[in-house]
Chains A and B, each alone.
Chain A
Amino acid sequence: MLRTRFRLAAVLTVAALVLAACGGGDDDSGGSSGASASELKVFAAASLTAAFTKLGEQYAAANGGDKVTFNFAGSQALATQIQQAAPADVFASADTTNMDKVKDLVGTPQNFASNLLQIVVEKGNPKNVKTLDDLANPDLKVVLAAPDVPAGKYAAEILSKAGVTVKPVSQEDNVKAVVTKVSLGEADAGIVYVTDVTAGGDKVEGVDIPEEQNVTATYPIATVKASKAQDKAQAFMDLVLSPEGQQVLKQYGFLPPPTT
């Protein structure tokens, strides 16, 4: 009897701790699930993780502690979530295709950055990958983003331009997962944004793609029409487009938006 009671108490304690951890973690994690009504919810492409987190801090500092919570994922996933009426205030996509998908649900988009792509390999380039042609080597384990992910689409464009056929061993759901697989040593190479290689730190390095074979990714940003915080959403968008915002993006390796 005592043992049963003790076990029950133990289970309840663990359950309580787990619930507390779930509830208390949201303040630090920046996840959108536990965000309170006044926090700004920004849906942004995975490749914007580092730069936008920094911009979120700047926004909070400039707006009396108004917090920003981010949902970083593949732009195709975010667009679908917005179509399913997910509570987003701002949407920043890694390509114009996904912004077009939701054009009836967002305000006028504006391009705020561009990005180039690079081949990512492990630090030290152990498999000696020098060009896109090397990726066609059947012994090399190449990981790409899934065809519907912007990074996957750009990679397909690049490979088609270069006339190289690559058989990836996995199609990842967002570009960060590609970097992870390479940094873990599971994959030998992948095609990601230049900014992801920088963000990948010491574990990875980049191999340049010649300019004539590379594509420029265009990043648009827009406020979501269904947002209940239009002013704040607009304020965040303005910050991203402002000289300060552009400087932060430059710091993280992004290029200015196309001038056309």
Chain B
Amino acid sequence: MPAWFAVPAAVAVGFLAIPLLGLLSETPWRELPTELTSPIVLQAVRLSLVCSLGAVGLSVLLGVPLAFLLARVAFPGRNLVRALTTLPMVLPPVVGGVALLLAFGRRGLVGQWLDQWFGITLPFTTAGAILAEAFVAMPFLVITTEAGLRAMDRRYEDAAATLGAGRWLTFRRVTLPLIAPSLGAGIALCWARALGEFGATITFAGNLPGVTQTMPLAVYIALETDLQAAIALSLVLLVISLAVLIALRDRWFPTA
């Protein structure tokens, strides 16, 4: 490679590292224990965990079957469905929030019927926050799982069939273990994305401590008045992101 590539590469490293160093250097280390145990922070952390795990659960329930459909069944419009699945990944999150509002809000396309027939409203609820996070995070799960399904050796499934295993048994005992690494990576990515979701959550679910104020929202609000709390929360999110990276390092940074 041209030797001078080292210069822009060094700049790139700096560009990525300096913000993190900035965060670490401004962290109020002495006050950190107090900040991390303040009610606002604890509420936000608890809520973030509940919502992100809920979003992962929803994504697994709906996304894994979808991944199978996309990988195994050549139905008409499959490319369109795949594009639709990828859309939330590129859509600006706040646009996703607006779209969710127009679909599932109290006057929304589907939301108005939910409200009229069942008395269910999603905005301003924790369920709404889970929905918003699932909307943006599910594509990660679907794409990763689909890739795993495509890459696996289907002969094992065929062998199971010849030995008399039904579809559900084959799925449980043969397919699932084989795609476990991809599924695991997909779940980790889905969870990390759900945890960090901001735009769709604040637009669709609103902002109320203990109900919908997840960690990113708490950082945003705290930034305007209490910088220390904002930094403490940011640190928590940073540590979680690092943990996901370390857990997935073998996948992304395979040692040759």
Q: Which residues of A contact B (CB under 8 A)?
A: 74, 76-77, 80, 141, 143, 146, 148, 168-173, 181, 184-187
Contacts and interface: CB of A to CB of B under 8 A. Distances in A.
Nearest to A74: B224
Interface of B: 101, 105-107, 121, 123-124, 202, 206-209, 211-213, 220-221, 223-225, 227
Most chain B CB neighbours (cut-off 10 Å) among A76, A171, A172, A181: A171
B223 A184 contact: no
Contacts of B227: 80
A186 B224 contact: no
Contacts of A186: 101, 105-107, 123-124
B101 A184 contact: yes
Contacts of A168: 208
Contacts of B105: 184-186
Contacts of A173: 202, 207, 220-221, 224
Contacts of B213: 171
A108 B107 CA distance: 47
B83 to A, nearest CB: 13
Nearest to A75: B224
A16 B101 CA distance: 30
B224 A77 contact: yes
Nearest to B212: A170
Contacts of A169: 124, 206, 208, 211
A126 to B, nearest CB: 12
Nearest to A77: B224
A170 to B, nearest CB: 3
Contact of A171 (B101, B121, B208, B225): B208
Contacts of B107: 184-186
A76 B225 contact: yes
A184 B101 CA distance: 9
A173 B198 CA distance: 13
B223 A170 contact: no
Contacts of A181: 206
A110 to B, nearest CB: 24
Ordered nearest first, which 6 A-B pairs have the shortest CB separation? A170-B206, A169-B124, A185-B107, A77-B224, A148-B225, A76-B224
A15 to B, nearest CB: 12
A186 B203 CA distance: 11
A80 B208 contact: no
Contacts of B123: 186
Given A170-B206, A184-B107, A185-B105, A148 B224 contact: yes
A119 B5 CA distance: 61
Nearest to A79: B224
A77 B124 CA distance: 23
A80 B223 CA distance: 8
A142 to B, nearest CB: 10
Contacts of A187: 124
25 contacts: A74-B224, A76-B225, A77-B224, A80-B224, A141-B121, A143-B206, A148-B221, A148-B224, A168-B208, A169-B124, A169-B208, A170-B207, A171-B207, A171-B208, A171-B213, A171-B221, A172-B206, A172-B207, A173-B202, A173-B220, A173-B221, A181-B206, A184-B107, A185-B105, A186-B123
Most chain B CB neighbours (cut-off 10 Å) among A143, A168, A172, A184: A184
Given A80-B224, A171-B208, 12 more contacts: A80-B223, A141-B124, A148-B225, A169-B206, A170-B124, A170-B208, A171-B209, A171-B221, A173-B220, A184-B101, A184-B105, A185-B105
A187 B223 CA distance: 26
A124 B196 CA distance: 39
B211 to A, nearest CB: 8
Contacts of B221: 146, 148, 171, 173
Contacts of A146: 207, 221
A63 B224 CA distance: 34
A206 to B, nearest CB: 21
Nearest to A80: B224
A76 B208 CA distance: 18
A135 to B, nearest CB: 15
B222 to A, nearest CB: 9
A168 B210 CA distance: 12
A260 B211 CA distance: 43
